[in-house]
Structure 1
Amino acid sequence: MNHERWLVSYSDMITVLMALFIVLFAISQVDQEKYEALRQSLAQGFQDRTGSDSILDGSAGNLDGESIVPQTNPANGTAGMVDADLGLGEQGANPAPAESTEAVDPDLMAAAKAEAEHLAEIRAAIQKALDAARLGDAVRFRVDERGLVLGLVADDVFFAAASADLTPTARRVLDAAAPTLRGLQEQISVEGHANVLPISGRYATNWELSTDRATQVLRHLVEKDGMPGARIMAVGFGDQRPLVGGKSGAAMETNRRVDLVILSDAPETVRALVPAMTKE
């Protein structure tokens, strides 16, 4: 047997490596004079074909690091198609300012204005009924991105401390507002809240207390005032969504409340504009 056949493969590998290094060395050496002669030759060739000085207007025929696009002034009328690209780099560094509310789509603004007027009419109707029942100051109205909120602040007018039992005044307020609420098409969310005082006795936490308060309001509206059950819901938020921060007397009273939220059925983009258009 020929035990030296491996020398053939080895010599082939050495030959290939040598050729590789020769090529790498050759391409790393640039003859500046020959390169310049080639550049001029190519430039002359293109000049003969096109009649222009160079294949690339604004340069000597090669990319020398300078811009090949002339910096023309749009006012002189010579920029041509290049004008369409002027200032593109400035857009990234100096983006256009965000649209102000004045630039909002007119149709969107009109829809938001109409929705704000609709909620104002609902508020006026409920306020009129409350005034007739001599309860005009019992409800605090506000408008947010969800719709119209009727705040039943439980400063011993609607609920006693740590209690979900409706007071006589609370029942009168609900009875006065119910006719207007029944005539609406919107969904109504009854949202119970509690203050941060620890709870004891019947309820384990403020979650149960706030939920029971919302449920009692819902039951009165449905069972006593004829509110359609399919259009109303109840939820408790415990003490997690206070209107007033801290532990002052005003905070304790204001945060112990139930909110009746008339949920606007307008698109979200419209609802977002409504609070700014509503005069409290």
Structure 2
Amino acid sequence: MARKRKHHHEEHVDESWLIPYADMLTLLLALFIVLFAVSSVDAEKYQQLMTVFNENFQGGSGILEHPNPSPLPDAKETQDEPTDVITQEKYDLMSLKQEIDQYITDQDLEGDLQTSISDDGLLLTILDNALFHSGSADVRADAVRLAGKVSELLASDPPRKIVVAGHTDDVPIHNANFRSNWDLSAQRALNFMKILIDSENLDPQNLSATGYGEYQPVASNDTDEGRSKNRRVEVLILPNYQFD
């Protein structure tokens, strides 16, 4: 009697997961290569990789299709250029300060005009007795020439922004023309700025005026000397680039 043969059915492991897994690995590899190419800032290599990936994954076109990227500027050039410009601006302001100082010396105006330079720009300080009569905001006739010369000195190419600020001491003022020191300081700054503009050396759109009254003193108001220093007009010439 013939024996029946037993048939053993082998179990097959489901390997369908390998396909998406392999696709995921391929995409990750593509991503890492793209990131590496971008970080290397090699425009030619980047474009070649994009072409290959588009052909393989998108049939020659798709989301990886980009125009040839412009090469990024060299990091050293990006850092050096603004540094050179700022250095030149500082040099130009310092040269302007020396020119104004020379004019002050030549005209024997050391007691009325002073200059200083900082990160804010070049500051020209004019004591009020060089420009105005006491309690008045009208620029004296003999001071108009001074304002014209200041305007000439401040002209530059490219032009700079200029802020004219008026300051007073803390002695109260209240008359038919001014209700407070704030009004007086603001009108003095405005009147001086108008003369700067009238000389046609400066563009009006680059100038502004403001008044601070007695609220930004540079000396004590307890003495005549201190009050005299506080009554002033300041002309701030702003740099074209912010200093660090």
Aligned equivalents of 1:136, 1:175: Cα separation in 2: 18
> For the Cα contact (< 8 Å) 2:220–2:227, is it kept in 1?
no
Q: Deviations over 1:83-113 (max 9, x none)?
A: xxxxxxxxxxxxxxxxxxxxxx998876654
The answer to whether residue 131 in structure 2 is matched with residue 141 in structure 1 is: no
The answer to whether residue 162 in structure 2 is matched with residue 188 in structure 1 is: yes
Unpaired runs of 5+ residues, structure 2, are 1-78
> For the Cα contact (< 8 Å) 2:220–2:226, is it kept in 1?
yes
TM-score (norm 2): 0.60
Report the alpha carbon displacement of residue 129 of structure 1 after superposing the two structures with TM. Answer: 3.6
Aligned equivalents of 2:125, 2:143: Cα separation in 1: 12
Give the ranges of 4+ consecutive aligned residues of structure 1 lying more than 3 Å apart after TM superposition: 105-115, 128-138
Q: Give the counterpart letter for 2:153 in structure 1.
A: T
Aligned equivalents of 1:173, 1:182: Cα separation in 2: 15
Q: Deviations over 1:108-153 (max 9, x none)?
A: 8766544332211111222334444454553110123210000011
User: How many matched pairs?
Assistant: 164
Aligned equivalents of 1:169, 1:136: Cα separation in 2: 17
Unpaired runs of 5+ residues, structure 1, are 1-104, 273-280
Q: Deviations over 1:146-201 (max 9, x none)?
A: 100000111x2222222112124432321222222123511110111111000021
The answer to whether residue 166 in structure 2 is matched with residue 176 in structure 1 is: no
TM-score (norm 1): 0.52
Aligned equivalents of 1:192, 1:134: Cα separation in 2: 23
Q: How does 1:244-259 map to 2 (within 5 A)?
A: 244-259=219-234
Q: Give the counterpart letter for 2:219 in structure 1.
A: V
> For the Cα contact (< 8 Å) 1:126–1:176, is it kept in 2?
no
Question: Which structure has the larger Rg over C-alpha atoms?
Answer: 1
Percent identity between the two aligned chains:
23
Aligned equivalents of 1:161, 1:221: Cα separation in 2: 21
Aligned equivalents of 1:218, 1:256: Cα separation in 2: 17
Backbone CA RMSD of aligned residues: 2.4
